[in-house]
């Protein structure tokens, strides 16, 4: 579904006014918007599956996982045999991560009801208690589930590549420079990041 927050149109307009690169991208990409994942367990599961692989590869693994575990809920994941999960293309490590995530949700160790009232860093710290969830995965969750508008996932390879391409003729940019460029986008860094991703791949990140 589309982002339900009203900030997207205002963010795109402001970003286009202050950044000529984004102005071109916003015009080129048109009316597409961030696709929001409303189920927190689903959102985190998809983020784990997508770690360190391409968007297309992640979609393929996710499709096979859905065939084996149609109801992607904590109890069903915990009931699935390890061989069932391994057969979909998940590494043993990612399988462990998904099962640990399911355990946290199943036992109530993670409580999604608290997250909307917590600031970004507090949510990141809470999520990072789960095996396999580092800062990048938590930031993806902030963007795609909680719809936080000002997240800059500086370690994201796609974002780094897009910024290098558009702002430095394809040459790598140091982290300090990436952050400085990102400051221009605040308080809409999530939106700018999404346009950076889309500039590299017509398929929206999963």
CATH assignment, 7-35+151-200: 1.10.1670.40
Quote the radius of gyration of the chain (alpha carbons, Å).
17
3-state secondary structure (DSSP) of residue 80: coil
Every domain of the chain and the residues it spans: 7-35+151-200, 40-144
3-state secondary structure (DSSP) of residue 2: strand
7-35+151-200 shares its CATH topology with 40-144 = no
Rounded-to-integer distance, Cα 206 and Cα 187, Å: 23
User: pLDDT of the chain along its 206 residues, tens only?
Assistant: 344 457 999 999 999 999 999 999 999 998 888 888 789 999 999 989 988 888 889 999 999 999 999 999 999 999 987 778 878 989 989 999 999 999 999 999 999 999 999 999 999 999 999 999 999 999 999 998 999 999 999 999 999 999 999 999 999 999 999 999 999 999 999 999 999 999 997 655 54
Q: Which of 185, 205, 201 is nearest to 21 (CA)?
A: 185
Among the four given CATH numbers 1.10.3720.10, 1.10.357.10, 1.10.340.30, 1.20.1090.10, the one describing domain 40-144: 1.10.340.30
CB 62 within 8 A of CB 156: no
Rounded-to-integer distance, Cα 102 and Cα 121, Å: 22
Report the predicted TM-score, pTM, of the whole model to 2 decimal places: 0.85
114, with CB counted inside 10 A (0-12, 13-18, 19+), is exposed
């Amino acid at each position: 579904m589309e982002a339900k927050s009203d900030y997207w149109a205002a963010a795109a307009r402001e970003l286009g006014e202050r950044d000529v690169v984004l102005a071109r991208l916003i015009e080129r990409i048109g009316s597409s918007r961030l696709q929001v994942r409303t189920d927190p367990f689903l959102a985190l599961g998809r983020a784990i599956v997508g770690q360190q692989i391409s968007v297309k590869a992640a979609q393929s693994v996710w499709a096979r996982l859905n065939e084996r575990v149609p109801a992607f809920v904590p109890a069903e994941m915990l009931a699935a045999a390890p061989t069932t999960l391994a057969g979909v293309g998940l590494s043993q490590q990612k399988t462990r991560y998904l099962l640990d995530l399911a355990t946290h949700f199943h036992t109530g160790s993670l409580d999604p009801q608290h997250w909307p009232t917590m600031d970004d860093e507090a949510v990141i710290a809470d999520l990072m208690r789960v095996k396999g969830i580092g800062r990048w995965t938590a930031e993806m969750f902030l963007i795609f589930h909680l719809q936080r508008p000002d997240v800059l996932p500086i370690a994201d390879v796609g974002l780094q590549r897009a910024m290098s391409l558009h702002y430095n003729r394809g040459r790598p940019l140091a982290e300090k420079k990436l952050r400085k460029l990102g400051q221009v986008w605040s308080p809409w860094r999530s939106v700018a990041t999404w346009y950076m991703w889309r500039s590299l791949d017509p398929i929206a990140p999963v």
